[in-house]
Structure 1
Amino acid sequence: MNPALSLSSAVVRTAGAISPRLGAAAAMPFFGHVARPRPVTADDSPTMSLARRRTIGIPGIDRRGADVVVYEWGRGPRTVVLAHGWIGRASQFSALVRELVAEGYRVVAFDAPAHGGSPGRHSYLADWLDIFAELQTRHGAFDAIIGHSFGGLATLVGVAGGVDAARVVTISALADADEVLREFQLMLGHSDAVSARLRERFAARYFAGDPDPFAWLSAVRRPLPPDMPLLIAHDEGDRLVPFGEALRIASANPGAALLPTAGFGHNRILAADVVLDAVVDFVTADASDVARTPAPTPESALPAPTPAPAPSEVLVP
C-alpha cells in the first residue's frame, strides 16, 4: 500500500473504531477523489493531436459547475460516444477512434471532471450522465455509446434512464454502484458498519430526497429496454473488475451479446483486435442483424470470484 493510501486507511479505520458515523465522515473526502491523471501514451498521442477539442460545462458532483474537455473526430452523420472509466481518459480509446472514423462515424469522447485534461479533484457517476445529456443536446440521438469500466456502468445507467442511443457496448464494466462501495471498502479496510454509514452519507449529500440512489445506479436492478442491442466485452482474467460483473450485466439484459476474452486484462482489452473487430461489426450492423445470444448464465452458476487485486490497484473513487 502506498504511503498516502496507508495514511487514509489508518484515519478512516481509527475513526470507525470510535463510531461508524465518524468513520464514514472521515472516508467521505476520499470517496470520489480522483488520483493524478494518467499521461497520454506515445501510441495514443497522434490520434489525440487530430481531435477537434472544446470545453463544455456541466453541474459537477457538487452542482457548483465543472468544465469537461471534449474531443471529436470525423464528420459523419452518425455519432458514437466513448466513455472512459475511473482514472481513465479519452485517449485510451485511440485505436477504436481510428476504426470508427474509418467507417464514416463522427466520434466524440471526453475527459470527465478531474480526469485527463479536465480540471478538478472529485467526480462521480452523475458527472458522466450530465455529460451524456450535454452531448445529446449538441449531437442528437447517438448511434452508439461505448463505455469502459466505470464509464460502462455510467453508459448502462444513462441509457436505461433515457439517453437516446441505438445500441450500447460495455468493455470491462461494473454492474452497479454497490460494487464501487465494496471496492472502496476493500481499499481502505474499514468495517461493514462504516460502509453502510458512508452509503447513507453519500446519498444524502449528492442525491438529496432520493432514499436509495443505488437502486437506479445499477445495471442489474435497472436494466436496459428489452429491445436495446447490447454487446458486453470482458476479459476473464480482469483483476480490477471481475468477469462475474459481465455475467451479472448479461443476466439482467437477456439477449445481450457476450464477448469473453483472455490475456488482455482490464485496459489492454481496449486495443485488442478481437474486441475492435467485434465492436465495429456490432456498431455498423443493421439493427435487424445485431447478434443476440442465448439466455445468459444465471447468477447462481457464476464462477468463483477473481482473486482480489492489491489495494493499490483497486479501481474506485
Structure 2
Amino acid sequence: MHKHGPGLSVSSGAPELGMAPQHRAWALRAPCRWLGAVAPRLLGRLAADAFSYTRSRHTPTRDVPPPGAQRFEIYGAPGVEHGYLWRRRGPGALLVHDWGADSSSMRGFVRPLQQLGFRVASFDAPAHGIWPGNTTTLRDFSASVEAAITSLGGVSVVIAHSVGCIAAVAALARAGGLPEPTRCLVLLAPAASWRRVIDTWAAGPAAVPPKVLQEMLRELQRREGLPLHHWDVVALGRQLWAPTLVLHDPADPDVAFCQAQQISRCFVSARLQPVPGLGHHRLLGSAHVRSEVARFVAVHARLLPSLPPGMPALRQ
C-alpha cells in the first residue's frame, strides 16, 4: 500500500512493490473538479475502479515456482488455484503480501523460517501476481487467505504486510477448528482499517470531492457485500488471543505509525516494535526485521507446548 492507498504509486525512492500507475489517481482530479457536482455516481464508480486496481509493471508474467518451492493446491478461493510451499513437513508459516504486490515481496522471510524448521507458504491474492484480472475486493483477498490456511490444515504463524494485515486478521477471526492452531501473528506496517485506507487515498492526488466520495463508498460497499467498517483490524483483533508482534517505522510515509499504536493497544497480547528508517517497503528486506521476526516466532510458534486441537487464533 502507498500513502494514498491502493491504485496509486508516488515515487519515494523505494522500489514499487505492485503499486498501480500514478496517473490512475491523478486522472480523476480534473473530472472530479468539473463534473463532480453533476455526475457524482459515474465518477464514484470510476474512483472505485481506480482505488481497487491491483496491477503494476512488476506483476509476474509466468507461473513458475520460486527456487526451492513446490506448488500446493488452494481450495475454495475463486481466482486462486495454488500457492508455493517450501518444505512439506514442520509447523506451517503463511506469508501474506500487500494490496498491489505479490508473493515475491515476502520472500525474504522464507529462509529464516525454514532455518527454524517451518514449512513456509505464500500465494498471490486474487487479481494479483500470476492471477488474471486487475481489480478485486478485500472480501475476496481475505477469503483467499482463509482458504490458504484451511488448505494447509492450519498454520502456526501468519506474517502479513500493510493491507494484507487486514485480510489476514479477518481470515483468522473466521478460521477455527483446524488441526494446527495459529500460535502467533506478525504485522508489518499494518493498515488499521479499510475505510481509513480509502479516505487517505481519496484525499490524495485524486482529490475526490465529498459527493463523489459518498458514491465511491456506496460502490465499494456494494462490491464487498459487507459494510466497509467490518474491515477493521482493531475490532477483529479483539477476538484473537495469539501473541502478536507489530513492526512499523515511526516515519512511515505510507501508513501512519499511529495505526500500529492503535492496533498494539487493542490486541489482547501485542508488542509494538518501532523500526526507524525503513519506510513502508524497505522493512520487508531488512536483515534486522527478519531477525526480530525469527526471534519472536521461535519463542511463540515453535517452542511452546502443544495446544489442544480446535484452538486457533480465536479466544475461547
TM-score between the two structures when normalised by the length of structure 1: 0.78
Match of 2:233 in 1: 219
AA at the equivalent of 2:170: V
Deviation at 1:68, TM superposition (A): 4.8
AA at the equivalent of 2:97: H
Match of 2:202 in 1: 185
Q: CA 1:229–1:286 in 2, change beyond 3 Å: closer, same or farther?
A: closer
RMSD: 2.6
Q: CA 1:243–1:161 in 2, change beyond 3 Å: closer, same or farther?
A: same
Aligned pair 1:236/2:254, yes or no? Answer: no
SS in 2 for 1:169: strand
Match of 1:249 in 2: 263
Q: CA 1:191–1:222 in 2, change beyond 3 Å: closer, same or farther?
A: same
AA at the equivalent of 2:271: A
> In the alignment, is the contact (CA less than 8 A) between 2:59 and 2:128 conserved in 1?
no
Larger relative CO (CA 8 A, sep 6+): 1 or 2?
A: 2
> In the alignment, is the contact (CA less than 8 A) between 1:177 and 1:217 conserved in 2?
yes
Match of 1:166 in 2: 183
Match of 1:272 in 2: 286
Distance 2:153 2:238 in 1: 19
AA at the equivalent of 1:266: H
Matches within 5 A, 1:1-317: 2-38=22-58, 48-53=66-71, 56=74, 65-162=78-175, 165-187=182-204, 188-207=206-225, 210=226, 213-225=227-239, 227-286=241-300
AA at the equivalent of 1:276: R
Distance 1:161 1:96 in 2: 25
Match of 2:310 in 1: none
Deviation at 1:39, TM superposition (A): 5.6
SS in 2 for 1:222: helix
> In the alignment, is the contact (CA less than 8 A) between 1:37 and 1:87 conserved in 2?
no
Deviation at 1:72, TM superposition (A): 0.9
Q: CA 1:231–1:102 in 2, change beyond 3 Å: closer, same or farther?
A: same
**What do residues 274-311 of structure 1 show as CA deviations (whole Å, max 9, x unaligned)?**
21122112212146989xxxxxxxxxxxxxxxxxxxxx
Q: CA 1:27–1:5 in 2, change beyond 3 Å: closer, same or farther?
A: closer
Deviation at 1:88, TM superposition (A): 1.2
Identity score, percent = 26
Match of 2:307 in 1: none
AA at the equivalent of 1:168: L
**What do residues 35-85 of structure 1 show as CA deviations (whole Å, max 9, x unaligned)?**
225267xxxxx99222213564655xxxxx413551111223311100000
AA at the equivalent of 2:67: S
SS in 2 for 1:107: strand
SS in 2 for 1:6: helix
**Bigger mean CA offset, 279-288 vs 237-246:** 279-288
Distance 2:277 2:197 in 1: 24
> In the alignment, is the contact (CA less than 8 A) between 1:153 and 1:219 conserved in 2?
yes
For structure 1, list consecutive stretches of 5 or more residues without a partner in the other structure: 41-45, 60-64, 291-317
AA at the equivalent of 1:249: I
> In the alignment, is the contact (CA less than 8 A) between 2:126 and 2:140 conserved in 1?
yes
Distance 2:223 2:101 in 1: 25
> In the alignment, is the contact (CA less than 8 A) between 1:38 and 1:87 conserved in 2?
no
SS in 2 for 1:7: helix
**What do residues 175-206 of structure 1 show as CA deviations (whole Å, max 9, x unaligned)?**
00111211220231111232222212221233
**What do residues 142-183 of structure 1 show as CA deviations (whole Å, max 9, x unaligned)?**
101110011112112222233662211100110001112112
Q: CA 1:151–1:286 in 2, change beyond 3 Å: closer, same or farther?
A: closer
> In the alignment, is the contact (CA less than 8 A) between 1:27 and 1:198 conserved in 2?
yes
SS in 2 for 1:116: coil
Distance 2:65 2:134 in 1: 26
